């Protein structure tokens, strides 16, 4: 799936499709377009009310679709094609994986794992925790909770390289992974020296938590309480459109110690030479690595499971939009039947002037399409406003696991295509029955 | 009454328009009511029940919330350490076992979710008399003989009727499950019996000792995994206080106990546990409640406004005559509003009723993000009528006002 449609194309696509369709109908049917346009103008209140219903339906469809497309892009871009993720045998998600430290340490030495310039194998050993974090609350109110993803890594620069992340502010955490604070420093009330766990936070999560604290984003030096410990932010990392942008990274040993996972890795990510080599490495590790049975797969395959879960969401969106579109169809049908009822004489005149039945059919079909197009374009424009809006949601991965992710909603070619398709189908279906009834009117009977 | 009959007759006059408007309102009410049903279910699920005596203990921070087996003993005593401390009247440990029948094709259809526990704590009955009430109140009592058979059959399991059907298995069948939670624990089961239909349609129960023996064996073969797996055996621990006033003390006792420090635990009601988990979805739920629902209702208002406007325009002459024969402006306003209200509320009631019937009788409940199917409450029909009626009223205000303000002389002059 490509998402590199130029913006001008995205903006021009819906009107172009509608113009081509209407032009085609005009050329094929030689219908009296001026007559249809005048009717729409004369009955402008009805036209506007019907079109507005389309606007709402299309705008909602686009917003929901853009949400789903955002998740899809996230799941597609989170995985590096040449990366292999190793989980414990049978585990479908890193949340459920337990790889013993001692039995998996030599995974990095497997043939096929590439090395960086400094000779280190491109291998990220990780422990991943999902914490249900209590948020500060107004006194007396039930405290709200938030899911926070914490990833413990051993060599942060190396792990960032493996996952394609970059540090945008501050530094990676130190070798010790903690920052000593003296009593009373930064207004703290501790009577004895204490240590804060150093953490690097993803930009998406920093914005998310920051906005709740009334800031644009959290920054270096800010302190968070997660679980039983306080965490000081020493850096911000960028993982544009990846799940890692919604995570907190800290020293693996510290994360394991705090959350009782100090004897295991949850995943080990290895970088191969190429996507093909990654496939081969994943197969080989799953089959032949005997020291500790592992389930290895390429990262895109792993994140594809998140996309699968998203397919269900997309299905629900289409279902809800479909039901709402039905309402729009009945609405336009109502309008068009009323129009035909009011213009029975006009139809008789048109027939006597020599317009064939099918031309009358096309004329009324065109009118309903114009109403739909009007509403659809307005809805499209309204829906387009959500493009690029950053939002946060919890998405399902596989085997019941979830991730809380921050991502941008995307109005791409797919979203526009869905909006145009819905608009046209609603216009066509809504106009078809009334147009057929208009076509069947006999000229003399209509004039009478 | 005459006025009401007039409203009825007017609606019957243009059957096509009435039908189309009713259908348009109906489908949109369908969407709104469906969403409200889900929200109602979630709110009901997370509402604290008065007189609740049950609490759940889970890990305090990690979302998986697992605990070591060694916690079970102290938890079953409610961490009571001093005289006068509350001891739970009932308690039970739950250990989840999730797996698939086909490791190559991990679809929902192949999945098995079993709760490992001391099966004697299941609710049982002898003939029609409850023998043991237990803590699981959303499960109808099972024949005691069946539970005894399960306890005797170490590798046995009881499965919900729907899951059995999906897996295409029957009582007496054996099947092998590749476990993914805990990962790497593969077990073979024999279906000992079927659970009563209801909340447990899709899941089942197994003997905790079977799971624990398998984990112990796995730990012997993979000693490096032992420390971690030992820390993560119990997924949930249920405690039930004997009296209402003991409940908060029991919760406080467990939360404050120094016995559960590594990992720390939290004790809360089930409603609180679910509400805390659902907080993370608050943005999505907000979008549905405050964007999707109002959007659908706005569409409905527009469609009704349009249909009623068309009606008023087409019946201008008739309304002028009504005015001439003595109908006051208020009567015309009432007439149009009444038509809209009847149409909206009527179609809403039908749509709500349809949801109730389709969701409960035809589909067997609504499922949200893989949840257990839950029934649509009968109130859905009333919500439908309310939503349809309210939006119809709003949508018909302007057309009704137009009808009210109609000048008979102007209408007749236009006709002439």
* Tokens, residue B35: 């969403």
> Strand B90-100 and strand A194-202: pairing?
unpaired
Write out chain B residues lying below 8 Å of A371, CB-based: none
Whether B281 sits inside 8 A of A331 (CB atoms) is no
How far apart are alpha carbons A19 and A9 in whole angstroms?
Answer: 15
Chain B residues with CB under 8 Å of A393 CB are 281, 283-284
Query: Is residue B377 within 8 Å of residue B58, measured between CB atoms?
Result: no
3 state DSSP class of A1: coil
For the cut 60, the answer to whether the pLDDT of residue B370 exceeds it is no
CA–CA distance, A328 with A374 (Å, rounded to integer): 13
Cα(A264)–Cα(A90) distance, integer angstroms: 16
Q: What share of chain A is helix, strand, coil (3-state, %, to 5)?
A: 55, 20, 25
For A63, counting Cβ atoms within 10 Å of its Cβ (0-12 exposed, 13-18 middle, 19+ buried), the class is buried
Position A2 scores a pLDDT of 43
Mean pLDDT of A324-351: 83
Q: CA A437, CA B6: separation in Å to the nearest integer?
A: 29
In chain A, pLDDT over 90 holds for what percent of residues?
24
The DSSP call for residue A310 is H
- Is the pLDDT at A198 greater than 90? The verdict is yes
Q: What is the pLDDT of residue B416?
A: 62
Judge contact between B75 and B81, C-beta under 8 A: no
B89: CB partners within 8 A, 6+ apart:
B53, B240, B241, B242
Average pLDDT estimate for B293-308: 82
- Band of the pLDDT at B146, cuts 50, 70, 90? very high
Residue B149 Cα, gap to closest chain A Cα (Å): 30
Please name the residue of chain A whose CA is at the shortest distance from the CA of residue B305. Answer: A49
Taking an 8 Å cut-off on Cβ atoms, the answer to whether A228 and B61 are in contact is yes
CB contact under 8 A, B370 and A396: yes
Tokens of A93: 């998600």
Q: Is the peptide bond before A57 cis (omega within 30 degrees of 0)?
A: no
Residue B2 scores a pLDDT above 90: no
Judge contact between A220 and A169, C-beta under 8 A: yes
Percent of chain A residues topping a pLDDT of 70: 88
Nearest Cα residue in chain B from A337:
B17
Q: How far apart are CA A330 and CA A336, in angstroms?
A: 10
B181 part of contact set with chain A, CB < 8 Å: yes
Residue B325 sits at the vertex; the CA angle it makes with B321 and B327, to the nearest 5 degrees, is 90
Task: Tell me how close the Cα of B311 comes to any Cα of chain A, in angstroms.
Answer: 9
Q: Would you give the DSSP letter of residue A218? A: -
Residues 6+ apart with CB under 8 A from B232: A98, B64, B66, B67, B68, B182
CB B222 within 8 A of CB B204: no
Q: Is the pLDDT reported for residue A3 higher than 50?
A: no
Considering only the beta carbons, identify the residue of A57, A103, A334 that sits closest to B224.
Answer: A103
**Closest to A88 in 3D by CA, of B65, B379, B232:** B232
| Contacting residues of A for B28, CB less than 8 Å apart | 323-324, 327
A28-60 confidence digits (pLDDT tens) = 556 677 788 888 888 888 888 888 888 988 898
How many whole angstroms separate alpha carbon B139 and alpha carbon B115? 13
pLDDT, mean of residues A295-322: 79
pLDDT exceeds cutoff 70 at A447: yes
| Range list of H helices, B62-108 | 71-76
**Mean pLDDT across B126-142:** 89
Mean pLDDT of chain A: 83
Chain A contact for B110, CB < 8 A?
A: no
Predicted complex: ipTM over 0.90: no
CA dist A391 and B68 (Å) reads 37
Spatial distance between the Cα atoms of B11 and B21, rounded to a whole number of angstroms? 11
CB proximity B155 to A under 8 Å? no
Least confident interval from B72-81, B154-163, B242-251, B365-374: B365-374
The residue among A250 and B34 whose pLDDT is bigger is: A250
Nearest to B63 among A97, A131, A396 (CB): A131
A263: tokens are 């004897």
Give A146's contacts in chain B (Cβ within 8 Å). Answer: 279-280
Could you report the per-residue pLDDT of B259-283, keeping only the tens digit for each? 998 889 999 988 888 887 777 777 7
CA distance, residue B328 to nearest chain A CA (Å): 26
Residue B352: pLDDT above 80? Answer: yes
Q: Is B275 on the interface with A (CB under 8 A)?
A: yes
The answer to whether residue B371 neighbours chain A at the CB level (below 8 Å) is: no
Q: Hey, are the CB atoms on B306 and A263 less than 8 Å from each other?
A: no
Residue A446 confidence (pLDDT)? 75
User: Which helix (H) or strand (E) covers residue A178, if one does?
Assistant: strand A178-181
Cβ count within 10 A of residue A135: 11
Rounded to the nearest 5°, which phi and psi values hold at B56? -115, 140
Quick one: average pLDDT of B168-186?
90
Q: Which two tokens stand for residue A198?
A: 């150093």
Q: In angstroms, rounded to a whole number, what is the distance separating the alpha carbons of residues A59 and B361? A: 33
3-state SS class at A191: coil
Reported as a pLDDT band with limits 50, 70 and 90, residue A26 is: low
Helix (H) or strand (E) holding B255: helix B246-256
Res A28: pLDDT: 57
Mean pLDDT to the nearest integer, B350-360:
86
CB–CB contact A92 B17 (8 Å): no
Rounded to 10 degrees, the C-alpha dihedral B175/B181/B182/B185 comes to: 20
Query: Quick one: pLDDT at residue B21?
Result: 84
Closest listed residue to residue A246, CA positions, set A384, A113, A109, A403 = A403
Compute the nearest-CA separation of B114 from chain A (Å). Answer: 14
B352-374: average pLDDT: 75
Contacts of A434 in chain B (CB under 8 A): none
SS3 content of chain B, % helix, strand, coil (to 5): 55, 20, 25
Within 10 angstroms of residue B242's Cβ, the number of other Cβ atoms is 14
Considering only the beta carbons, identify the residue of B21, B23, B281 that sits closest to A394: B281
Helix (H) or strand (E) holding A408, with range, is strand A402-408
Q: Which pLDDT value is given to residue A1?
A: 40
Closest approach of A285 to chain B, Cα-based (Å): 16
If pLDDT is split at 50, 70 and 90, which confidence band does B415 have?
low
Q: How many CB pairs under 8 A join A and B?
A: 200
Instruction: Closest CB to A228: pick one of B178, B264, B369.
Output: B264
Across the interface, whether the CB atoms of B62 and A45 are under 8 A apart is answered no
Q: In sequence order, what E strands does B161-308 have?
A: 174-181, 183-194, 204-207, 236-240, 265-268
* Residue A6 confidence class, pLDDT cut points 50, 70, 90: low
CB contact under 8 A, B284 and A100: no
pLDDT value, residue B310: 82
CB contact under 8 A, B284 and A394: yes
Interchain contact, A50 vs B369, CB within 8 Å: no
Identity of the residue in B30, B179, B307 whose CB atom sits nearest the CB atom of A334:
B307
pLDDT of residue A316: 77
With CB atoms and an 8 Å threshold, state whether A337 touches B17: yes
- Give how far Cα B79 sits from Cα of A50, A83, A294, B87, Å: 66, 47, 39, 8
- Residues of B with CB below 8 A from A423's CB? none
Tokens of B254: 């467990």
**Measured between alpha carbons, how far is A97 from A93 in angstroms, rounded to an integer?**
7
B56 touches A: beta carbon within 8 Å: no
Percentage of chain B with pLDDT > 70?
97
Q: What is the model's pTM?
A: 0.79
User: Mutation test of the interface with chain B: which of A129, A334, A383, choosing the one with the most B Cβ atoms within 10 A?
Assistant: A334
The larger pLDDT score, comparing residue A361 to residue A201, is at A201
**Residue A32: helix, strand or coil by DSSP?**
coil
Rounded to 5 degrees, φ, ψ at A306 are -70, -40
Mean pLDDT computed over B130-149: 91
pLDDT in tens, A122-142: 999 999 999 888 877 667 777
Cross-chain CB nearest to B228 (options A46, A263, A323): A263
> What are the chain A neighbours of B277 within 8 Å (beta carbons)?
132, 145
What would the pLDDT profile of B195-234 be if each residue is shown by its tens digit? 998 888 889 999 999 999 999 999 898 887 888 888 889 9
Q: Is the pLDDT of residue B23 over 90?
A: no
User: How far is Cα A142 from Cα B271, in angstroms, rounded to an integer?
Assistant: 12
């Amino acid at each position: 799936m490509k998402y590199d449609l130029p913006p001008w194309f995205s903006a021009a696509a819906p009107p172009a499709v509608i113009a081509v369709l209407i032009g085609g109908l005009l050329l094929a049917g030689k219908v009296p377009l001026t007559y249809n346009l005048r009717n729409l103008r004369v009955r402008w209140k009805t036209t506007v009310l019907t079109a507005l219903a389309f606007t709402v339906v299309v705008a909602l469809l686009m917003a929901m679709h853009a949400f789903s497309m955002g998740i899809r892009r996230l799941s597609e871009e989170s995985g590096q094609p040449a990366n292999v993720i190793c989980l414990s045998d049978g585990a479908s998600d890193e949340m459920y994986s337990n790889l013993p430290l001692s039995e998996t340490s030599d995974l990095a030495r497997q043939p096929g794992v590439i090395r960086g310039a400094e000779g280190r194998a491109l291998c990220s050993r990780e422990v991943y925790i999902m914490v249900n974090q209590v948020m500060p609350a107004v006194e007396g109110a039930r405290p709200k909770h938030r899911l926070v993803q914490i990833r413990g890594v051993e060599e942060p620069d190396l792990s960032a390289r493996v996952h394609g992340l970059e540090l945008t502010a501050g530094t990676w955490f130190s070798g010790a992974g903690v920052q000593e604070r003296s009593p009373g420093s930064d207004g703290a009330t501790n009577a004895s020296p204490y240590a804060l766990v150093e953490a690097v936070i993803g930009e998406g999560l920093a914005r998310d938590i920051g906005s709740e604290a009334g800031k644009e984003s959290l920054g270096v030096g800010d302190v968070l309480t997660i679980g039983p410990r306080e965490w000081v932010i020493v850096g911000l990392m960028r993982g544009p459109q990846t799940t890692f942008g919604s995570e907190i990274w800290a020293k693996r040993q510290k994360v394991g110690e705090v959350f009782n996972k100090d004897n295991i890795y949850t995943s080990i990510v290895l970088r191969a030479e190429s996507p093909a080599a990654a496939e081969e490495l994943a197969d080989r590790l799953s089959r032949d690595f005997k020291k500790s049975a592992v389930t290895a797969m390429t990262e895109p395959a792993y994140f594809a499971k998140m996309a699968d879960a998203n397919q269900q969401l997309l299905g629900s969106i289409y279902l809800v939009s479909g039901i709402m579109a039905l309402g729009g169809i009945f609405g336009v049908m109502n309008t068009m039947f009323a129009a035909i009822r009011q213009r029975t004489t006009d139809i008789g005149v048109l027939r006597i002037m020599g317009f064939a039945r099918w031309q009358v059919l096309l004329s009324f079909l065109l009118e309903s399409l114009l109403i739909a197009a009007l509403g659809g374009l307005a809805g499209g424009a309204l829906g387009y406003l959500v493009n690029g809006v950053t939002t946060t949601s919890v998405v399902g991965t596989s085997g019941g696991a979830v991730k809380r992710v921050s991502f941008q909603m995307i109005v791409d070619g797919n979203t526009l295509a869905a909006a145009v398709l819905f608009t046209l189908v609603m216009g066509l279906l809504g106009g078809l029955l009334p147009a057929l009834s208009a076509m069947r009117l006999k000229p003399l009977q209509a004039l009478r | 009454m005459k006025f009401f009959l007039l409203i009825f007759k007017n609606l019957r006059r243009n059957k096509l328009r009435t039908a189309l408007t009713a259908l348009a309102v109906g489908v949109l009410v369908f969407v709104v009511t469906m969403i409200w049903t889900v929200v109602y279910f979630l709110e009901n699920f997370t509402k604290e029940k008065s007189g609740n005596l049950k609490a759940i203990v889970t890990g305090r921070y990690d979302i998986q919330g697992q605990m070591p087996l060694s916690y079970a003993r102290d938890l079953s005593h409610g961490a009571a350490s001093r005289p006068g401390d509350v001891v739970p009247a009932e308690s039970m440990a739950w250990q989840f076992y999730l797996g698939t029948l086909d490791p190559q094709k991990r679809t929902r259809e192949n999945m098995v979710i079993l709760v490992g526990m001391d099966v004697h704590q299941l609710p049982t009955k002898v003939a029609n008399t409850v023998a043991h009430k237990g803590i699981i109140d959303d499960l109808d009592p099972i024949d005691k003989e069946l539970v005894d058979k399960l306890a005797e059959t170490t590798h046995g399991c009881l499965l919900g009727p729907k899951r059995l059907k999906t897996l295409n298995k029957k009582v007496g069948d054996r099947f092998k499950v590749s476990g993914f939670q805990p990962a790497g624990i593969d077990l073979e089961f024999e279906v000992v019996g079927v659970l009563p239909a209801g909340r447990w349609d899709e899941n089942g129960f197994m003997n905790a000792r079977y799971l624990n023996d398998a984990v112990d064996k796995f730990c012997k073969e993979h000693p490096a995994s032992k420390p971690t797996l030992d820390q993560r055996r119990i997924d949930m621990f249920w405690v039930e206080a004997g009296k209402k006033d003991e409940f908060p003390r029991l919760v406080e006792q467990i939360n404050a106990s120094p016995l559960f420090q590594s990992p720390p635990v939290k004790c809360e009601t089930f409603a609180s546990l679910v509400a805390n988990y659902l907080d993370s979805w608050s943005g999505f739920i907000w979008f549905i409640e405050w964007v999707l629902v109002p959007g659908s209702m706005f569409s409905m208002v527009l469609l009704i406004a349009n249909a009623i406007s068309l009606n008023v325009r087409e019946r201008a002459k008739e309304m002028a005559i009504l005015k001439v024969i003595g109908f006051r402006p208020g009567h015309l306003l009432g007439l149009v509003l009444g038509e809209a209200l009847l149409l909206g509320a009527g179609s809403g009631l039908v749509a709500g009723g349809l949801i109730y019937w389709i969701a409960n009788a035809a589909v067997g409940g609504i499922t949200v993000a893989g949840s257990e199917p839950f029934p649509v409450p009968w109130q859905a029909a009333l919500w439908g009528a309310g939503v349809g009626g309210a939006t119809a009223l709003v949508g018909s205000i302007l057309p009704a006002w137009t009808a009210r303000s109609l000048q008979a002389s102007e209408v007749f002059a236009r006709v002439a």
